[in-house]
Amino acid sequence: MLQSAQKTLMNTNQKVCECEIKEKMPNIKVFGGSSHTDLTQKICDRLGFEPGKVITKKFSNGECSVEIGESVRGEDVYIVQTGSNEVNDMLMELLIMINACKIASAIRVTAVIPCFPYARQDKKDKSRAPISAKLGFFDIPVDNLYAEPAVLKWVKDNIPEWRNCCIVSPDAGGAKRVTSIADRLNVDFALIHKERKKANEVSSMVLVGDVKDKIAILVDDMADTCGTSCHAAEKLLEAGAVKVFAICTHGILSGPAISRINNSMFETFVVTNTIPQEELSRYFHDPCRGYQAHSQRGICLVLVQQCALVVPVQYLECTAE
């Protein structure tokens, strides 16, 4: 009886919350490209309305074609498109969708890009190297949305001994990221400095910081082939870490990534849902879908649902801090 009353109260509160959100968001429509339809649906479920109608297809020569299936005149339009597989096609599809909405008289168009294409090529690191992330792009306002709230929640909910942990960056470039998380958790942080014999060849890794008798949590922005992360895990255990966890915002997981993770020393490897993982779903543990990891050492790969983080934060009460 009590459980039934509590369930009814929760459903009532959810409906009230959805009504309040709708009142705060007049004339808003959310469209999704073909890169991550599941994330688009989750965002719209959270906001309390259905995704806008859009048809995306390709001609026989590979050209992208987009048809917006409803009026956007005077609407505030949000387009969700991530930089997943076939990055170039997904980026072109996004640009076509933006153009289609603008010439259809949308009052404003906002692109929600969970994983920014070419984000790794954001600086000139050698002679004659292009800055691909800016190539032909834009000079308009950008809000950087962080996965940190989802990371903090996962750590506190899933690592009982988190107060005895050390947040570790696999390279110097991620120092600011790990110090922010360490400050929020009130724990220590460390970083790994890579020494190179020559370009693209790491001769050794030097740990800067103390992880002895602590749980090491390796935090990175993306996991692609996972070579550096797996080597870093070995280094942390050699330095006396009790356990090693990995948390990465973007789970690209290409090439030998899964094989390397299966043979690595991680207890758990965590990624968020900025990139669709349907093809790798058999490897993931997801409480909502019952995914269970398949690994030689029983390593659990966890998919953290953080769709609220890519919604305009002013419309949600508990999104980002």
**Which residue in 101, 13, 38 sits closest to 273, CA to CA?**
38
| Positions of the chain with pLDDT under 50 | 2, 6-7, 9, 199-200, 286-297, 307-321
Q: What is the pLDDT of residue 156?
A: 94
What's the token pair of residue 251?
């789970």
Q: Which CATH class is domain 148-305?
A: alpha beta
The HSE-up count of residue 160 (CA atoms within 13 Å, CB side) is: 0
Closest CA to 21 of 42, 49, 51, 60: 49
| pTM (2 d.p.) | 0.79
Locate 98 and state its tokens: 């933006």
Residue 86 CA from chain centroid, whole number: 17
The answer to whether 26-145 and 148-305 have equal CATH topology is yes
Q: What's residue 197's pLDDT?
A: 56
Domain locations in the chain? 26-145, 148-305
**Tens digits of residue pLDDT in 105-122:** 999 999 999 998 888 888
What backbone torsions phi and psi does residue 210 show, to the nearest 5 degrees? -115, 120
pLDDT in the model for residue 291: 37
Encode pLDDT of 205-221 as tens digits. Answer: 889 999 999 999 999 99
Residue of 286, 282, 296, 232 whose CA lies nearest to 253: 282
Tokens of 110: 């906002």
pLDDT of the residue at 295: 42
For the structural domain made of 26-145, what CATH number should be given? 3.40.50.2020
Residue 167's DSSP bridge partners are 189, 217
